[in-house]
């Protein structure tokens, strides 16, 4: 048996699809794009071709690049804003509730479809039809709903019930799907079949036309033909963060997450942590201190700087401090308890690594007619609109916490990882990196160990597996701490693959149904 690669994802069909492409001779990007297309079918409450994301990929020979296909603010060419279809919906998480805003005016210009196609065009090896075929088959023939996805579908049911096309995706026989049920999406299957054939350009045009027709000003939305014409995925130079013997490559501005991860790594160096007993009170207090510094950076105006002065973010993670920063600029907003995001990581046997994170938000409650594609509600999420809703100038690239990451030793990929989880993405990835690179924990333990998050003056943490006295020590230092008795999806979902001493391996985050498949032939 020979190993062709390894993939870590948050859903079994997604991981199996990527491994299948690796066995057929595809590279890490082929596997990633095929897996992500499948995720739009089988992880439909989290990601869709009406969403957006980012991917980092590369190898020691060709180098590393990041493709940013997140959303832009719509409204180019509008003389005056129309009457908006924009409304609050309350989602019940059991212990708490949260309000999200949905409707057609919650939809930003999505980049996921053209982003995946551009990624494959730039770095894939296999024909597009082979890459698209598995996702089309799952959509046409049906797939088995995982426990994790069934739970998330139940949470966003109030949003899904807002229109008949979206309700048909979530309640195909009049009820919410349960784990083990079999679902299909024949409309999406037809679209994907055409996308993988000779009519790909026609399908893309059909997609954009439908978006403008049904999410434009006449229907209460903001997306215009000028928005569509102006949109294109952007190749960016990854943010490079030296860290001991390693180099951490991640999402640069205008993404928010990569720079915050970099500030955390800088803080860990400055505080000289890493020698404490793992999961002891000393270890967790030290990590909480690092997370507090990261939160403080965001409160000091980090988000406002992303567009205005991106070079200052690179200076910050390079260790030069906070030149000219002021607390008056504002920063973090409330916590998104769901964090409807999903992540896939791949390393192939030829030494290519790739990591992709994408989201549909919670979805806006409306779909593209006849295509089976639920469209995002990025304009209705507090955490990515810290200045308030509909404040961004049309055409502005929206910021995100999504941070697909590759760690190098020399020029060779050592790790590929990322996470879902809204604002907790930065904390989840940072802790996984510290667990692996500083505390030298085994891969699965590093990914699934108890996790913390700090936002402002608040601490959240999981108590499972903590050392004696650790819970009491954290609560003394953070009297208003929120303690989770069991691991929770609130803390993200890090999916990580690694090349450790020539052995490909992976770890999936059990908080979000993580799955690892090693592709062997």
Query: CB of 306 within 8 A of CB of 318?
Result: no
Q: Which entry of 14, 224, 263, 341 is annotated as an active-site residue?
A: 341
CB-based burial label for 299 (10 Å; 0-12, 13-18, 19+): middle
* Residue 365 DSSP class: S
DSSP 97-141: EEEEEESGGG--B--HHHHHHHHHHHH--S-HHHHHHHHHHHHHH
Query: CB of 332 within 8 A of CB of 291?
Result: no
Peptide bond into 264 cis (omega under 30): no
* Euclidean distance between the first and the last CA atom of the chain, given in angstroms as a whole number: 6
Rounded Cα distance between 12 and 313, Å, is: 37
18, containing H or E segment: helix 12-23
Rounded Cα distance between 375 and 362, Å, is: 9
The alpha carbon dihedral of 507, 36, 189, 124 has a sign of negative
Rounded Cα distance between 191 and 203, Å, is: 7
Strand order in the sheet with 341-348: 234-236, 63-69, 52-59, 353-359, 341-348, 3-9, 515-520
Query: CB of 332 within 8 A of CB of 9?
Result: no
Question: How many CA atoms within 13 Å lie on the side-chain side of 402?
Answer: 30
Q: Which of 219, 211, 32, 214 is nearest to 119 (CA)?
A: 32
Rounded Cα distance between 425 and 410, Å, is: 26
Is 341 an annotated catalytic residue? yes
35, containing H or E segment: helix 28-42
The alpha carbon dihedral of 247, 252, 255, 261 has a sign of positive
Q: Any alpha helices (H) in 310-458, and if so which ranges?
A: 310-317, 424-433, 443-448
Query: Quick count: other Cβ atoms within 10 Å of Cβ 80?
Result: 5
Q: Which of 37, 1, 10, 45 is nearest to 21 (CA)?
A: 37
**Which positions are catalytic?**
341
């Amino acid at each position: 048996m020979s190993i062709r690669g390894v993939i870590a994802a948050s859903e079994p069909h997604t991981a199996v699809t990527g491994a299948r492409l690796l066995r057929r001779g595809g590279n890490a990007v082929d596997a990633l794009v095929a897996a992500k297309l499948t995720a739009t079918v089988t992880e439909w409450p989290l990601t869709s071709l009406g969403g957006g994301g980012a991917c980092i990929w590369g190898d020691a020979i060709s180098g590393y690049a990041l493709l940013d296909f997140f959303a832009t603010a719509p409204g180019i060419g509008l003389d005056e804003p129309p009457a908006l279809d924009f409304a609050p919906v309350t989602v019940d998480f059991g212990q708490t509730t949260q309000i999200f805003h949905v409707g057609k005016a919650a939809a930003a210009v999505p980049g996921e479809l053209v982003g995946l196609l551009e990624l494959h065009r730039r770095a894939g090896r296999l024909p597009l039809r082979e890459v698209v075929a598995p996702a089309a088959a799952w959509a046409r023939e049906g797939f088995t709903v995982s426990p994790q996805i069934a739970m998330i579908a139940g949470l966003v049911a109030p949003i899904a019930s807002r229109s008949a096309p979206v309700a048909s995706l979530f309640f195909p026989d009049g009820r919410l799907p349960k784990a083990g049920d079999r679902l299909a999406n024949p409309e999406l299957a037809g679209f994907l079949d055409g996308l993988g054939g000779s009519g790909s350009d026609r399908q893309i045009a059909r997609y954009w036309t439908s978006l403008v027709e049904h999410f434009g000003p006449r229907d209460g939305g903001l997306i215009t033909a000028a928005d569509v014409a102006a949109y294109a995925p952007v190749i960016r130079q990854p943010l490079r963060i030296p860290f001991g013997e390693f180099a951490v490559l991640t999402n640069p501005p205008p993404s928010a997450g990569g720079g915050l991860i970099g500030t955390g790594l800088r803080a860990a160096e400055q505080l000289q942590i890493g020698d404490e007993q793992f999961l002891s009170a000393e270890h967790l207090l030290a990590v909480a201190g690092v997370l507090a510094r990261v939160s403080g950076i965001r409160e000091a105006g980090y988000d406002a700087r992303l567009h205005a002065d991106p070079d200052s973010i690179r200076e910050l993670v390079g260790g030069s401090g906070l030149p000219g920063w002021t607390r008056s600029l504002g920063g973090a907003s409330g916590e998104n308890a769901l964090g409807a995001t999903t992540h896939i990581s791949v390393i192939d046997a030829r030494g290519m690594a790739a990591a992709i994170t994408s989201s549909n938000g919670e979805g806006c409650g409306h779909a593209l007619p006849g295509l089976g594609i639920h469209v995002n509600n990025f304009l209705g999420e507090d955490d990515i609109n810290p200045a308030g809703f509909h404040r961004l100038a049309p055409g502005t690239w929206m910021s995100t916490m999504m941070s697909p990451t590759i760690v190098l030793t020399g020029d060779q990929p050592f790790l590929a990882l990322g996470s879902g989880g809204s604002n907790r993405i930065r904390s989840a990835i940072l802790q996984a990196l510290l667990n692996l690179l500083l505390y030298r924990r085994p891969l699965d333990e590093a990914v699934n160990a108890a996790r913390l998050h700090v936002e402002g003056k608040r601490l959240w943490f999981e108590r499972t597996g903590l050392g004696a006295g650790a819970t009491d020590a954290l609560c003394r230092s953070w009297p208003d701490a929120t303690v989770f008795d069991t691991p929770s999806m609130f803390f993200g979902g890090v999916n990580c693959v690694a090349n450790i001493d020539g052995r490909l391996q992976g770890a999936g985050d059990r908080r979000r149904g993580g799955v690892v498949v090693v592709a062997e032939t």
